[in-house]
Amino acid sequence: MFTLFNHIQKWAELEPSRVAIAGVYGNVTYSDLIARSAELIAQIPQRTRSIGILGPSSPNWIAALLAAECFGARVVPLPEFFSSTQLNYILQDSEVDFIFHAPAYDCPEGINAYPWQGEKKPWTMKQAMSATQVVYTSGSSGTPKGVVHPVSNLDKKAAELAAISHSSQQDIHLSVLPFSILLEQITGIRVALRMGAKVIVNPMIFQSCMKGDFTLLEEAIKIYQPSTTVLVPELLRGWVAILIELNKQSPRCLRFVAVGGAHVPDSLSCKAWDLGIPVYEGYGLSECASVVSVNTPVMRQPSSVGKPLPGCKITIEDGEIVVESDCVMQGYLHGEGVPRKWHTGDLGALDCDGYLQVYGRKDNLIVTSLGRNIMPEWLEAMILSDWRINRCYVVADQNPYVSAIVIPHTSFQDEFASEEACTSIVQGLCKEAPEYALPQNVILTDLATLHQLGMITANGRPKRHELAQHFKL
């Protein structure tokens, strides 16, 4: 199988002036990417074993990835949204001894580092070497865990996704999520560039969205007219909200908007389609090379996350989703190897047509003091059907009832002026839930406060027990 480098090299030879990257960094051709990679690989000390990549999404981030993979080292993307404590842990755990980084970023003392500059050199290496990648996921505890994949796993996954999504060299992919997130690395780099497509890169879009401002996202879609993009539900929700606020439809250029990383409420998906956003829900996890199932233009079932990819077999064991695939990780770094069958920890079901439904995390199940079992994601989906609400976390701590922590969109904060008004809104949204599952207590807060308190992990997941303890729920 061709590696990412091989595909980019092919396009560089066939069409040297073909644009690979556009956006805030200007136009960068496929031949430019190869030349930048040549400049970077020349900087790697010969005995380097583990290479970190630190910086915002950019053409040089991709060039550093190519250089590290071709060198044959362990590749460690360093998420810039992780805390300094988490990053230091990753550097020690993965034994990083060389770092490619953006010039504006400081690197720890004692580790060789090279600030990428975007210079170019002739490329002499014709074949990429074997390499592994360690993807760190913070999980619910906030302590990063290193997921080990051969790079060949990631290229194989990209090939599967390119086929089922009908990707082509005519595509324009808007990259929103950071490249350090495996989902975006596979879709925004490996799928797009293997096909000879163009990738639009502007890291400010994601940063702006994380602050609750989705204007840059809407403007980028209008300006660059992309055909594909990948979002998490929170970003889709913000985009839908701003289109409603502006009374606009999404442009017709879009053909495939993949959404994953968390549950996509049916109401959100339906509203997106009404606004012209072609949403295709998917499911996956880093341990299984990011994607294991996805809806497609040919096969889509609302309320599902699609059918398994051709290389994946999904079964349900005691209610838990189990994935069997060659793309299951080798194991956690410094841990034992794992078989090609992975128990995901997610609860779900397969319908009679083979479409997968995901109910939520097995360890998120709430058991109230009255002995009632409640999936918080089920209630959260009801609450998030209201476009005025940005985020919602349902929690309980040895109580007979559940509580909801609500973060309204900044544009609608006046409509949630009091917790009494918010409680009335939330209970109305949950009217289909049984009485024992109805949230009896609603707390209003904002995302900045939760991050400051350390109640949200680096990848956006709530620490439910800590939230319940802090708010005394």
Where do the structural domains in the chain lie, given as residue ranges?
365-470
**pLDDT tens over the chain, length 473 residues:** 678 999 999 999 999 999 999 999 999 999 999 999 999 999 999 999 999 999 999 999 999 999 999 999 999 999 988 888 889 999 999 999 999 999 999 888 889 999 998 888 887 665 556 799 999 986 555 578 999 999 999 999 999 999 999 999 999 999 999 999 999 999 999 999 999 999 999 999 999 998 888 999 999 999 999 999 999 998 999 999 899 989 999 999 999 999 998 888 888 999 999 999 999 999 999 999 999 999 999 999 999 999 999 989 999 999 999 999 999 999 999 998 888 899 999 999 999 999 999 998 888 888 887 788 899 999 998 999 888 888 899 998 777 889 999 998 877 778 887 778 888 999 999 999 999 999 998 989 988 888 888 888 766 778 888 888 888 76
Give the containing element (helix H, strand E) for 233.
helix 233-246
Return the closest-CA partner of residue 35 out of 104, 105, 92, 117. Answer: 117
Buried b (16+ CB within 10 A) or exposed e, 107-135: beeeeebbbbebebeebeeeebeebbbbb
Q: Which residues contact 311 (CB under 8 A, 6 or more apart)?
A: 156, 157, 160, 325, 326, 327
> Residue 282 CB: number of other CB atoms within 10 A?
25
What's residue 139's pLDDT? 56
Name the β-bridge partners of 391: 407
Q: How far is CA 316 from CA 159, 241, 306, in A?
A: 26, 35, 15
For domain 365-470, which CATH number applies: 3.30.300.30, 3.30.70.100, 3.90.650.10, 3.40.190.10?
A: 3.30.300.30
What's residue 125's pLDDT? 61
Q: What is the pTM of this model?
A: 0.90
DSSP state of 143: -
What's residue 25's pLDDT? 95
